[in-house]
Structure 1
């Protein structure tokens, strides 16, 4: 019985303190994600990123006072780490204008082909 009580207390102590850390970090992560939506690398740095894929710990992803909602967060290492990760992910998934033009053009060509096939099929069917 004493062993069960001791194990229970040990379990609560171990996971109870961890839960507080996770909730604080998750709140910090949400703030960093929101702030990172305003992040964008300049044209030259973006070219370097595409060529070399520097890591998410790079200073290129460091937040500045104009990007954050609360400047006191710039001193919090957990916030900085979360911001860099979110900015890195945003930059990694960023697409060029050519990519969007290619996708939209492909969709337009597919629609024209489908409409053409339908129109040609109904025209041939009416001539019989």
Structure 2
């Protein structure tokens, strides 16, 4: 994933509300297009980012922001979505449909809870075909 000390190439802050996920998906698609991702990869990224958002948004504190960070390298895009969460025991649901879709579409993914935040990060490499055959 991304180096915690590394500055994101692009950062997007939205209200932590499902109504704004379409903005995140569109931004992700635009950045992936700049990296010359295929149309299939771009659509996979749009879906994966939507699923990552579906995992973090229910854990968001009231009036919280959805913070989205994008790390761009040639042929690779890492997206981290996170919310402030004061819930003491936020645990990623690795058996959820959202996690299964996310890990099938992305090259790699991880979830992290702690320090008042809940984040999901995913990386997609251009040309990745999803699940291995």
- TM-score normalised to structure 2 length: 0.25
More strand by share: 2
- TM-score normalised to structure 1 length: 0.26
More helix by share: 1
Structure number with greater Rg is 1
